[in-house]
Copies of this chain bind each other. A is one copy, B any other.
Amino acid sequence: MVDPSRQETLRRAIELLFFGYREFTDRPDRILERRGLGRVHHRILYFVGRNPAVSVKGLLEILAVSKQALSVPLRQLTEMKLVAVLAGTSDRRVKRLVLTPEGRRLEADLTGTQMRRLSAAFEAAGDDDEAGWMRVMERLARTELQPSSPAGAA
């Protein structure tokens, strides 16, 4: 049994994550919408930008989706000349993906809104809080939870 006031804190945290994440994705989503694109397109642009010359397989592992789910949006982005494929590497089976200048522009536009939002929150909260936020998020993003207690133990 968990301390009730601790529970209250944890539930506030859950809600902050829910509403925070929704706010966080809202603006990019609306920019994408104007071009008929979705959140996956942003993710592709983002991670190709962050990992230049990444392979399709590498992207699949980062995004954790099926290759069929990646294939369509990725093709759209290459057709729109936002993502380019580098030829002639050592292993010719592997495609190396990069952003085109135009792709970089859109990515900067999309991610820029998120960086500004984060930046505003960090500045308002101060450096210590920013550092604390990062440390907590690092745990949150990496923590594997132990196999949950056999149904209904709560």
Give A contacts to B, CB under 8 Å: 2, 6-7, 10-24, 27, 31, 43, 46, 50, 64, 105, 108-109, 111-122, 124-125, 128-143, 145, 148, 151-152, 154
Contact = CB atoms under 8 A, between A and B. Distances in A.
B22 A64 contact: yes
A64 B18 CA distance: 12
What copy number does this chain have within its complex? 2
Q: Is the interface of A mostly helix, strand, loop or mixed?
A: helix
Chain A to chain B: the 7 pairs with minimum beta-carbon distance, closest first: A132-B132, A129-B132, A121-B139, A16-B137, A108-B154, A20-B141, A133-B136
A142 B24 CA distance: 10
Contact of A24 (B113, B140, B154): B140
Given A11-B50, A14-B118, 9 more contacts: A10-B118, A11-B111, A20-B141, A21-B21, A23-B142, A116-B145, A117-B145, A121-B137, A130-B132
A141 B19 contact: yes
Contacts of A139: 120-121, 124-125
Contacts of A10: 114-115, 118-119
Contacts of A119: 6, 10
24 contacts: A11-B111, A11-B115, A13-B122, A13-B137, A15-B141, A16-B134, A20-B141, A23-B143, A31-B148, A109-B148, A113-B148, A117-B140, A117-B143, A117-B145, A120-B143, A121-B136, A122-B136, A124-B143, A125-B135, A128-B132, A129-B132, A130-B136, A132-B133, A133-B133
